[in-house]
């Protein structure tokens, strides 16, 4: 039984440990019904869980309009200062526009903290030469880049493609979104062992048993970060996964927020 067993089972928010969600979204999606995708609903869920800060990647920017998505993200930051932070959306099919958006977002708003790329939804391979300026921007600033990754069925950003790009840009802190999906845990750990600038993100719906314990035992808790995929997924089970995992309190603090502070200036 962990120190948070009774608290989590009673639905009481965790308040003695800061919790930072590095993988969340905002707004409607073109093909999926998300019943509580507005910012008010997300903030309410953050309060229920005890999540202090959330970095959002707006859904309209993933596969339709990166400018619209980034505008939504910037507005969310300004309306909920110190609760909501942003990930600038880019799309390799529009390299010049993406570079313009990076320069705009990071110059206009100090609380834009990361870059988000979604190779699968944009149909743009991570190795596409049009991604070069995006990576160079991130590398020059030593930024965190959150990448949607999956083990199989993704022709654009799977775990065989991911390491080739990671090796070319060691100054970037690469956040492996979903850690390769429900069947990608072993491969994700192998890649993390090869590259110290790779961090594993726990946001996932179909969750392998004892995945958190596996990650911590194999690469240490210092490179495992907390993410929920809110509002695609209910963040409460993700709190439970970490709070009830058979790991030390020190490991729990690392995952919930300490690692986020190490790689991002909040």
Q: Which of 202, 200, 214 is nearest to 246 (CA)?
A: 214
Q: Which of 203, 121, 194, 196 is nearest to 159 (CA)?
A: 194
Q: How far is residue 58 from each of residues 10, 65, 66, 232, 252, measured CA to CA in Å?
A: 31, 10, 9, 11, 28
Residue 99 in contact with residue 133, Cβ under 8 Å?
yes
Integer Cα distance of 239 and 258 in angstroms:
15
Q: How far is residue 64 from each of residues 107, 123, 129, measured CA to CA in Å?
A: 23, 12, 21
Q: Which domain holds residue 202?
A: 5-10+17-263
Q: How far is residue 40 from each of residues 43, 70, 259, 262, measured CA to CA in Å?
A: 5, 18, 27, 29
Which CATH number characterizes residue 50's domain?
3.20.20.140
Tokens for 247, please give them.
């790991």
Number of domains in the chain: 1
In tens digits, the chain (266 residues) has pLDDT values of 689 999 999 999 999 999 999 999 999 888 888 888 999 999 999 999 999 999 999 999 998 899 999 999 999 999 999 999 999 999 999 999 999 999 999 999 999 999 999 999 999 999 999 999 999 999 999 999 999 999 888 999 999 999 999 999 999 999 999 999 999 999 999 999 999 999 999 999 998 999 999 999 999 999 999 999 999 999 999 999 999 999 999 999 999 999 999 999 99
Q: CA 253: distance to chain centroid?
A: 17
């Amino acid at each position: 039984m962990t120190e948070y067993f009774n608290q989590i089972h009673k639905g009481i928010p965790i308040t003695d440990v800061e919790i930072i969600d590095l993988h969340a979204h905002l707004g409607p999606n073109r093909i999926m019904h998300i019943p509580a995708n507005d910012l008010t609903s997300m903030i309410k869920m953050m309060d229920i869980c005890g999540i202090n800060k959330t970095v959002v990647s707006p859904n309209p920017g993933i596969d339709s309009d990166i400018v619209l998505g980034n505008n939504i993200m910037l507005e969310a930051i300004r309306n909920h200062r110190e609760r909501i932070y942003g990930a600038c959306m880019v799309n390799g099919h529009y390299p010049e526009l993406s570079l313009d958006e990076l320069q705009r977002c990071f110059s206009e708003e100090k609380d834009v903290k990361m870059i988000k790329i979604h190779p699968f939804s944009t149909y743009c391979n991570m190795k596409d030469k049009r991604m070069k300026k995006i990576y160079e921007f991130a590398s020059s600033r030593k930024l965190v880049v959150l990448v949607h990754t999956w083990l199989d069925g993704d022709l654009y950003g799977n775990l065989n493609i991911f390491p080739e790009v990671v090796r070319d840009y060691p100054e970037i802190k690469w956040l492996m979104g979903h850690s390769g999906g429900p069947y990608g845990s072993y491969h994700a750990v192998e890649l993390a062992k090869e590259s110290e600038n790779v961090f594993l993100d726990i946001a996932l719906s179909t969750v392998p048993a004892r995945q958190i314990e596996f990650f911590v035992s194999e690469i240490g808790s210092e490179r495992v970060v907390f993410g929920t995929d809110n509002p695609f997924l209910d963040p409460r089970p993700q709190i439970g996964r970490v709070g009830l995992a058979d790991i030390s309190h020190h490991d729990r603090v690392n995952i919930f927020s300490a690692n986020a502070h190490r790689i991002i200036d909040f």
